Every structure is written in structure tokens, then in C-alpha cells.
């Protein structure tokens, strides 16, 4: 009899298969969902319902599901669903998003994978898939991302290599510190490319064996800059990297801190300490509550202390007893309310008990990183020498005031006597000059009479002698008139008024017209200043200056005389100590092309009766420029001459401007 093989019952097989699938899904933590795209109805299993936080029910609507998607992810989910059902990417759906449980309000991360199924018209009639809770994986990835971001943004150099020592990662700060270009593949570099010779030897013989045993190493190491080869000191922490599951060594890592800023800070600190130690002032450091930990050498000497150990005590012991209450009520209150106190206080000498006046400044010192107070710093200056000097100055000032008062009285008396003498001299010069003119007029008159009536009766010698008498009398008359004019010049402030120098100059030029024509001279001038002066004196001043320029002209060259003026700047006025700062001044220059004079005679030409040439060469009394100087001084101004011999002269007059 033929035996037939028994087949598997399809119904039994389907039930067993479904049970196996449920077991597999449950073991994987997956939930299933099936959506009717046309009716927007979702059928899900218990696991999928739990993932959305629904307490019961295996059928819901798409809108209800979307309601419990996190607000920030809702648009993302909806867009992905629409794209899948539109046939994008073959209807595949794979997305991660957050949900907020409908009942438990719990935040979950889900990953949904699904597939849209289409009819012949390419319309989706089914959209089904799975949902998985990936909250733990997301948190793990976020932590890994944070750790990686921390490493990437760290200021220290961080590097990692595999178990064979092949480098595969250096963070950006490490690349920058070591000068490694960002586009360079670090796996191409070897250990010896990073270390200076001695440090490479240390790494090979001391550090590497420890890492292979799974141990750590920390200490100073010296690496070299990839581009410049500069040696860079680092504090290095090397560690073996283990697999978190098997604990097998899978690589090694290094964290390196650049020591250059720290070493530079230490050098600066050493300089500061040297400065404090060599300071002539008292310097101390103490805790917030006033216990002293450091006093420099000058401070120890000031207080009569021998060693630093003797100085380690409460700062109240540094003060005279009468100052200790002030320390509590004033110094400490200001210090902790404003961060600083400054003022005069009395220290005490520990050996002699002497009170030492000092000017002290105490301040709180803060940690630049934490902002917390690290204690107090005090700097004090010994005032004993300064106070003694101040007392001597007070004593000297009082003595000086007595001397000044005595000398002032003497000067007042001398000034009165000098004024009397000057008045007498001026009166004498005026009377003498006036009285001398009378006999000179008679000499001139009778010599002229003799020459007119008896010239024919005189021989040649008599006529020549008579001419000499007349010339001498004429010169004497001129001298007396000039001397009389010189004596009349004084500071008569009540006669000062506004004077337009251009008008004054035009008058003088008119008076000298005949001489100007005889000399074929040219007079050039612009719009001159207006000054505060005595009009007659200004006429005398310019008449003498122009007459002087015409007189001392070159024999074969027509005279050219130029007059210019300008207002002076304050800084220019300050260059002349004779002038008063804050007063506006006008500078007038009189320049000629005459014979000039040697620079050595620049002062001599203003002395009365001084002549640089003989009477036979140039006429004159020798009073003209002396009169000019006296007029300018009487007007609170200055005058000086400049010249190069045979190249002309320039006379500069500075007078107060009219305001």
C-alpha cells in the first residue's frame, strides 16, 4: 500500500508563524501599526499603543496619533508620511521623532520604519510598519555627541590612536598648538614626528610600556611644532582606552596642556616677588581675617623684625594700641564694603616701641577665575622722613617770609630813592638841554653874521675855522634836541590810546619825502596793526627807524625798505620772557637792503651815543636807536635787530595790540 506523506496544516502553520512573529517583535521591543490611508484609520498592537502612551484601544485615527507627536517634530513626521504615500523613495518610510504620552505624558524617542502599498492607479491603499523605542540610544548618542563636542572645543590638545599606535584623531586645539594643518591626514604621522629627541626616548621606554599594560602616566613632556619645530612644554596625561564591554585595551589616548602660559606666569610671578622683595616700601600679604603670611625685607626692617616667622601674626599687632579700634571700625569696614582702604596710620616698632607714621593702602585680592577673595595685600610708605622734611620746609618758609618782608621793605625804599634820582636826572637833562640851546643859538647866529659880513676880510684859514665852528654848533644843537627827546620818553599810561600804525607810517613817509626822493628810495608796507600806544612816540619810533634805514643805505644802490606786521600766536609770545602771557601782541618788521652791521653789534647799536661809523661817514648823534628802544620799553614791548654785514638789516618791534 502506498503511503502518502502527511503535509503541514496551513492554518496551524499560519498561527504558529504569527505567534513566532509576535514573540520576535516582543523580544525586539517593536510595535506594529497599520494605517488605512483612505480613511486615516490606524490599527496598532499593544506595544505600539504603549509607545504612544495610550492606555487602551487598538484602533485610533491618524489625527489622534499626530496630536501626541512632539510639537517640534510634528511637521517633520507629517511631511515624511505624505512623501511615503506619494511614492517618494518607493514608498519607504524611516524616521526618528519624539512623542509625548497621551496618558503618562512621558517623552519618548521613536524610530518608525514603514512601507506604503499602492494599487494599479498608484494610490496608496495601505501604510504599515513598526515602531521602536530608541530613547536610550538617543540619550547615549547625545551624551557621545556632548563628549565629542567637549573634546572638539577643549583648549587642551587631545589625541587618540588605535591599539597598534596609529593616530586617528587630534582635536582642533591640538592641531593649532602643534601647527598641524586641518587638511592633513594625521594617520600618516608617526610618534617620532611629534616628540623632541629626549621626550621621544621617554615615551618609548617609560610611557608606552605602561600603556600596553593598561596603566596611566602623567608628567611633563616636550613636543615640537610641526611647521616651525619650536619646542613646546606640555603637561601630559596618557591613558589606555578599554572596550566598555570586554575591558580589552583597544587604543590609547592623551590629554596635553600647553605649559607656556603657566611658565610665563611663573616667571612674571618671580619678577613680581623680586620687585616686592626689593621694594623700599612695606609690603605684606594676609588672610581675610588679618593673619599675616608674608612681609618683604623692607617691611621686616621697618618694624624691627628679624625673620618672616616673627612676622606671622595678626595684623592688629603691627599697630600702635590707640590704632587698633580704628582698624576694626574704619579700615576693615571700608575694606570689606569697598574692597580697599587707604590712609595714614601708626605702625609700631617691635623692638623700641616707636610709633611709625605710614601711608598705607590695603586691598582685597581676588582670584581671576573664581572671583573669590584670596586675602589682603598691604603697601605702606614710611612718612617719618617726609614729615621731618615738611616741618623743615614750614620752618624755612616762615624764615623766608621774614626775609622777604625785610627785603621788600628795602626794595620799596630803594625804588622810592631810584624814582627820585630818575626824576632829578630827567629834570636835569631837560633843564641842561634847554639851557644849552641858548648859547648855541648865539654861536650859530654870530658865526653866520661873521660869515655873511666879514668873509671877504678873512683869509682861507679863517673861513675854514669859521665853518668848523658853525658845523660843531649845528651838531651840538642836534645832539641836545635828541637828548631832550630821549629824556621826555616815559611810561605815561594815561596818554595811551588806539593808534593805527599805517596812518602813523604814512605821516612819517610824508615828512621824509624830500630825503626819500634824494635817495630814490622805495618804501613798501601793507595794512599794519593797530596798537595801544602814545601817538607821538609811535611817530618818533618810525621816523628814527626809517631815517636809520635811509642813512645807512649803499652808495650805488637805491634803498628799498619794507614794513610788515602780523599778530603773534600765544606760544610765540611765551618764547619772550619780557612779554606778558595772555596779552595779544603785534610783530612789526622793518627790513632794508643797506650796508647792515656785524651780528656782534646787535646789542651795542641800542646803547646811547654808540656809533659804528665815524662822523665823517654818516651824520647823527648816536641817540636814534637808543630812543627807539626806550619808546618800545615804555610801551611794554621789545625791539631787536638782525643783520648780515653788507646784506641789509631787519629791525623787529613787538608791541601790545589794541583790543
Instruction: Let me know if residue 176 belongs to a domain.
Output: yes
pLDDT at site 609: 52
pLDDT at site 17: 46
Same domain, 25 and 123: yes
Determine the Cα–Cα distance for residues 15 and 77; give it in Å rounded to an integer.
34
Between 400-409, 429-438, 444-453, the lowest mean confidence (pLDDT) is in: 429-438
Instruction: Let me know if residue 294 belongs to a domain.
Output: yes
Please identify, among 367, 382, 397, the residue that sits at the C-terminal boundary of a domain: 382
Q: Which domain holds residue 370?
A: 264-382
Contact 150, 160 (CB under 8 A): no
Q: Residue 222: left if φ>0, alpha if ψ -120 to 50, beta else—which one?
A: beta
The CATH number of the domain holding residue 447 is 1.10.287
Instruction: Let me know if residue 144 belongs to a domain.
Output: no
pLDDT at 234 over 90: yes
Taking CA 609 as the corner, what is the angle to CA 437 and CA 417, rounded to the nearest 5 degrees?
Answer: 80
Work out the average pLDDT over 233-262: 90
pTM for the model stands at 0.42
pLDDT at site 362: 93
**pLDDT of 95-128, one tens digit each?**
999 998 877 888 999 999 999 999 988 889 999 9
pLDDT at 332 over 50: yes
Cell 509607545 belongs to: 51
Cβ-proximal residues to 124 (8 Å cutoff; 6+ apart), any chain: 37, 84, 85, 87, 91, 116, 117, 118
Please identify, among 445, 467, 488, the residue that sits at the C-terminal boundary of a domain: 488
Same domain, 501 and 650: yes
pLDDT at site 551: 87
Instruction: Let me know if residue 2 belongs to a domain.
Output: no
- The rounded percent of the chain whose pLDDT value lies above 90 is 41
Count how many domains the chain has: 5
Same domain, 505 and 372: no
Same domain, 474 and 391: yes
Q: In terms of pLDDT, which residue wins out, 467 or 70? A: 70
Average model confidence (pLDDT) across the chain: 84
Determine the Cα–Cα distance for residues 426 and 419; give it in Å rounded to an integer.
10
Determine the Cα–Cα distance for residues 251 and 159; give it in Å rounded to an integer.
11
Determine the Cα–Cα distance for residues 642 and 648; give it in Å rounded to an integer.
9
Residue 633's CB: how many other CB atoms inside 10 A?
Answer: 14
Contact 47, 22 (CB under 8 A): no
Instruction: Let me know if residue 1 belongs to a domain.
Output: no
The CATH number of the domain holding residue 620 is 3.30.565.10
Instruction: Let me know if residue 17 belongs to a domain.
Output: yes
Same domain, 515 and 646: yes
pLDDT at 242 over 70: yes
**pLDDT of 533-555, one tens digit each?**
888 888 889 988 998 899 888 88
Same domain, 304 and 343: yes
Determine the Cα–Cα distance for residues 530 and 657; give it in Å rounded to an integer.
6
Work out the average pLDDT over 606-613: 60
pLDDT at site 439: 72
pLDDT at site 13: 46
Instruction: Let me know if residue 347 belongs to a domain.
Output: yes
The CATH number of the domain holding residue 370 is 3.30.450.20
Contact 532, 657 (CB under 8 A): yes
> Which residue(s) pair with 645 in the sheet?
none
Residue 151's CB: how many other CB atoms inside 10 A?
Answer: 19
Alpha helices in 318-383 (DSSP H): 324-326, 332-338
Between 9-18, 79-88, 203-212, 598-607, the lowest mean confidence (pLDDT) is in: 9-18
Cβ-proximal residues to 24 (8 Å cutoff; 6+ apart), any chain: none
Alpha helices in 489-607 (DSSP H): 501-511, 513-519, 535-551, 570-574
Same domain, 290 and 239: no
Please identify, among 221, 242, 258, the residue that sits at the C-terminal boundary of a domain: 258
Same domain, 297 and 249: no
Same domain, 206 and 108: no
User: Hey, what's the cell of 186?
Assistant: 594625521
Same domain, 547 and 472: no
Determine the Cα–Cα distance for residues 184 and 166; give it in Å rounded to an integer.
15
Determine the Cα–Cα distance for residues 38 and 123; give it in Å rounded to an integer.
9
Instruction: Let me know if residue 52 belongs to a domain.
Output: yes
Phi/psi at 289 (nearest 5 deg)? -90, 5
pLDDT at site 1: 40
Same domain, 207 and 327: no
pLDDT at site 26: 57
Work out the average pLDDT over 21-47: 79
Determine the Cα–Cα distance for residues 313 and 622; give it in Å rounded to an integer.
87
Same domain, 393 and 440: yes
Strands 249-258 and 282-286: unpaired
**pLDDT of 563-602, one tens digit each?**
999 999 999 999 998 898 889 999 999 999 998 888 887 8
Amino acid at each position: 500500500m502506498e503511503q502518502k506523506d502527511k503535509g503541514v496544516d496551513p492554518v496551524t502553520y499560519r498561527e504558529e508563524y504569527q505567534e513566532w512573529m509576535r514573540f520576535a517583535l516582543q523580544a525586539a521591543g517593536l510595535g506594529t501599526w497599520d494605517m488605512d490611508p483612505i480613511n486615516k484609520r490606524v490599527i496598532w498592537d499593544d506595544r505600539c499603543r504603549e509607545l504612544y502612551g495610550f492606555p487602551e484601544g487598538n484602533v485610533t485615527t491618524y489625527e489622534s496619533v499626530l496630536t501626541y507627536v512632539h510639537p517640534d517634530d510634528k511637521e517633520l513626521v507629517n511631511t515624511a508620511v505624505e512623501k511615503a504615500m506619494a511614492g517618494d523613495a518607493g514608498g519607504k518610510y524611516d524616521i526618528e521623532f519624539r512623542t509625548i504620552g497621551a496618558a503618562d505624558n512621558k517623552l519618548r524617542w521613536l524610530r518608525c520604519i514603514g512601507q506604503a502599498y499602492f494599487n494599479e492607479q498608484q494610490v496608496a491603499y495601505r501604510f504599515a510598519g513598526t515602531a521602536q523605542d530608541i530613547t536610550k540610544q538617543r540619550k547615549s548618542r547625545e551624551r557621545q555627541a556632548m563628549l565629542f563636542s567637549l573634546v572638539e572645543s577643549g583648549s587642551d590638545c587631545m589625541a587618540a590612536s588605535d591599539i597598534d599606535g596609529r593616530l586617528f584623531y587630534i582635536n582642533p586645539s591640538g592641531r593649532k598648538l602643534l601647527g598641524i594643518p586641518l587638511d592633513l591626514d594625521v594617520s600618516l604621522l608617526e610618534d617620532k614626528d611629534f616628540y623632541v629627541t629626549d621626550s621621544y626616548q621617554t615615551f618609548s621606554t617609560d610611557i608606552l610600556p605602561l600603556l600596553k599594560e593598561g596603566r596611566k602616566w602623567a608628567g611633563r613632556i616636550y613636543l615640537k611644532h610641526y611647521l616651525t619645530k619650536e619646542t613646546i612644554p606640555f603637561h601630559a596625561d596618557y591613558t589606555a582606552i578599554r572596550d566598555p564591554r570586554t575591558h580589552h585595551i583597544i587604543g590609547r589616548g592623551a590629554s596635553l596642556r600647553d605649559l607656556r602660559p603657566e611658565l610665563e606666569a611663573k616667571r612674571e610671578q618671580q619678577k613680581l616677588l623680586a620687585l616686592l622683595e626689593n621694594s623700599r616700601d612695606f609690603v605684606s600679604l594676609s588672610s581675610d581675617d588679618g593673619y599675616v603670611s608674608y612681609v618683604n625685607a623692607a617691611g621686616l626692617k621697618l618694624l624691627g623684625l628679624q625673620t618672616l616667622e616673627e612676622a606671622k601674626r595678626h595684623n592688629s599687632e603691627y599697630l600702635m594700641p590707640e590704632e587698633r579700634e580704628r582698624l576694626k571700625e574704619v579700615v576693615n569696614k571700608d575694606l570689606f564694603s569697598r574692597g580697599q582702604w587707604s590712609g595714614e596710620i601708626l605702625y609700631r616698632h617691635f623692638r623700641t616701641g616707636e610709633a611709625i607714621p605710614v601711608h598705607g593702602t590695603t586691598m582685597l585680592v581676588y582670584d581671576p577665575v573664581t572671583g573669590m577673595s584670596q586675602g589682603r595685600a598691604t603697601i605702606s610708605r614710611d612718612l617719618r622722613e617726609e614729615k621731618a622734611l615738611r616741618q623743615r620746609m614750614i620752618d624755612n618758609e616762615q624764615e623766608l617770609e621774614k626775609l622777604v618782608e625785610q627785603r621788600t621793605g628795602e626794595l620799596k625804599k630803594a625804588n622810592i630813592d631810584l624814582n627820585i634820582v630818575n626824576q632829578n636826572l630827567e629834570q636835569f637833562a631837560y633843564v641842561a638841554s634847554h639851557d644849552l640851546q641858548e648859547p648855541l643859538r648865539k654861536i650859530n647866529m654870530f658865526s653866520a653874521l661873521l660869515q655873511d659880513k666879514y668873509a671877504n676880510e678873512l683869509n682861507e684859514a679863517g673861513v675854514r675855522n669859521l665853518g668848523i665852528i658853525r658845523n660843531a654848533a649845528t651838531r651840538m644843537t642836534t645832539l641836545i634836541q635828541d637828548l631832550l627827546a630821549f629824556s621826555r620818553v616815559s611810561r605815561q599810561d594815561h596818554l595811551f590810546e588806539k593808534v593805527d600804525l599805517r596812518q602813523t607810517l604814512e605821516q612819517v613817509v610824508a615828512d621824509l619825502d624830500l630825503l626819500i626822493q634824494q635817495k630814490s628810495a622805495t618804501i613798501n608796507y601793507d595794512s599794519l596793526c593797530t596798537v595801544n600806544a602814545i601817538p607821538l612816540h609811535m611817530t618818533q619810533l618810525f621816523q628814527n627807524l626809517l631815517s636809520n634805514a635811509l642813512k645807512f643805505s649803499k652808495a650805488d644802490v637805491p634803498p628799498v625798505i619794507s614794513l610788515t606786521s602780523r599778530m603773534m600766536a600765544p606760544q610765540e609770545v611765551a618764547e619772550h620772557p619780557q612779554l606778558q602771557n595772555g596779552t595779544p601782541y603785534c610783530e612789526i618788521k622793518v627790513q632794508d637792503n643797506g650796508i647792515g652791521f656785524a651780528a656782534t653789534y646787535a646789542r651795542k647799536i641800542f646803547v646811547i651815543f654808540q656809533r659804528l661809523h665815524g662822523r665823517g661817514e654818516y651824520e647823527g648823534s648816536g641817540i636814534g636807536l637808543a630812543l627807539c628802544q626806550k619808546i618800545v620799553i615804555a610801551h611794554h614791548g621789545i625791539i631787536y635787530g638782525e643783520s648780515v654785514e653788507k646784506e641789509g638789516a631787519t629791525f623787529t618791534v613787538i608791541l601790545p595790540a589794541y583790543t
